[in-house]
Amino acid sequence: MFDKAKKPITRGYADHKITTLQEGFAATNNLADLEEIKVPENCNVCDDGSTPITDDLFELAHHDTSEAERIGYSNYSYWGSTFRVFFKKKISVILLVFLVALLAFTFIQPLLPNQKDSYKVYNDENGATLRNVAPNEEFWFGTNSIGQDLWSRIWKGTRTSLFIGICVAVCNIVIGLILGSIWGYARKLDWLFTEIYNLFDNIPYTVLRMLLMYILRPSLKTMIFVMCLTGWIGMTKYIRNLILIYRDREFNLASRCLGTPSSKIIAKNILPQLISVVMLQTALAIPDAIGSEVFLTYIGLGLPVEIPSLGNLINEGRKVMLVAEQRYQLLFPVLIVSAITISFYALGNAFADASDPRNHK
């Protein structure tokens, strides 16, 4: 690589500096049209008046290999950029720390010292049942109408509701990924899956869940089964739409031309593109399942009364909410449900924004 000449030839009549070889040759081939050619003193002049192009008129340009590699290399990382954008928002960090602490305490609470039994009915020294005792040093959240400790029952109920939410979310994600991938990629089966989707989608989810819970024997397994039976529908349609977007991308067309099996294309090329979507839908499915459990139990079609759950606790608190001294029985479980639901939804939306490549800088 060469820079322009150190000592350019100058045309006197136009006062124009000749800095390229083309201009130099044009000038030397038309000497009759020039009034004057100023040549540096240390340059040799040919017999015809032209100036020879010699190496001393040029110098090597500086070339830095490391700088060229640095400019040509990009250290962009999708997940690195996603988490960097996510943790830039203080509210997201605060909610994440709060939710992790809440969930961790929920599961380690039985292991802490001086914890009471969630099923035991407590009596005073005289043998009288401690019913509807307001929160105090012994019973931090008070007792319910039959003398059970609300503190231990609320955390027990939170574990039950979280278990339902996680099971339903995982079931919906697995079924949604499998059926959605087949629906979106296998064009010949599109009509079949469309009819199945229309059949389930036209039945109101709430009515179907209420009907099944009424027919089947109420239990924890029944609750999970009923929610999984209807929860996969929306997830399947969502995955199918995304598969349609990625199916005909250039790299997938190239894979099909090379004879790559469809199962491998889905597993290697398409599903990795949906990881952020799966994480988001999982975060939103957990509070949705908890809310459904609370609603079904609230209307009397949920879990049996003897199983502590947030829905059962809210239903018990509803019965005494008109008594000012006993409203704490409704307040505490409602606060726990609200904290979990709001945190999951807020974190899910924050992660959705952070996972959008358009927000990566």
Whether residue 119 has pLDDT greater than 50: yes
Whether residue 12 has pLDDT greater than 70: no
Whether residue 35 has pLDDT greater than 60: no
Q: Are 303 and 220 in contact (CB under 8 A)?
A: yes
Identify the pLDDT of residue 21: 47
Q: Of 302, 308, 305, whose CA–CA distance to 152 is shortest?
A: 308
**DSSP code for 2:** B
Q: What is the mean pLDDT of residues 140-148?
A: 90
Q: Are 115 and 108 in contact (CB under 8 A)?
A: no
- Measured from the Cβ of residue 343, the count of other Cβ atoms closer than 10 Å reads 20
Tell me how far apart the alpha carbons of residues 17 and 44 are, in angstroms, rounded to a whole number.
Answer: 19
Q: What is the mean pLDDT of residues 1-16?
A: 44
Outline where DSSP puts E strands in the chain: 9-11, 16-18, 37-38
Identify the pLDDT of residue 71: 58
Secondary-structure class of domain 79-359 per CATH: mainly alpha
Whether residue 315 has pLDDT greater than 70: yes
Tokens for 194? Answer: 């469309």
pLDDT tens for 58-99 read: 777 776 777 666 655 567 777 888 889 999 989 999 999 999
pLDDT tens for 243-254 read: 888 888 888 888
Q: How far is CA 146 from CA 129, 130, 251, 261, in A?
A: 7, 8, 65, 63
Q: What is the mean pLDDT of residues 165-189?
A: 88
**DSSP code for 11:** E
Q: What is the mean pLDDT of residues 104-129?
A: 89
Q: Which residues contact 277 (CB under 8 A, 6 or more apart)?
A: 238, 239, 242
- Measured from the Cβ of residue 14, the count of other Cβ atoms closer than 10 Å reads 9
Identify the pLDDT of residue 200: 83
Q: Of 332, 351, 353, 348, whose CA–CA distance to 165 is shortest?
A: 348
pLDDT band at 214 (very low <50, low <70, confident <90, very high): confident
Whether residue 41 has pLDDT greater than 70: no
Cross-strand partners of 2: 60
Percentage of residues in the chain with pLDDT exceeding 90?
19
pLDDT band at 333 (very low <50, low <70, confident <90, very high): very high
Domain assignments of the chain as residue spans, ordered by start:
9-72, 79-359
Q: Of 311, 314, 313, 316, whose CA–CA distance to 293 is shortest?
A: 311
pTM: 0.73
Backbone angles phi, psi at 143, to 5 degrees: -125, 165
Tell me how far apart the alpha carbons of residues 352 and 85 are, in angstroms, rounded to a whole number.
Answer: 11
Backbone angles phi, psi at 170, to 5 degrees: -65, -45
Tell me how far apart the alpha carbons of residues 112 and 128 are, in angstroms, rounded to a whole number.
Answer: 28
Which of 2-16, 119-133, 337-351 comes out lowest in average pLDDT? Answer: 2-16
Identify the pLDDT of residue 343: 92
Residue 256 carries which side chain, given as an amino acid letter?
R
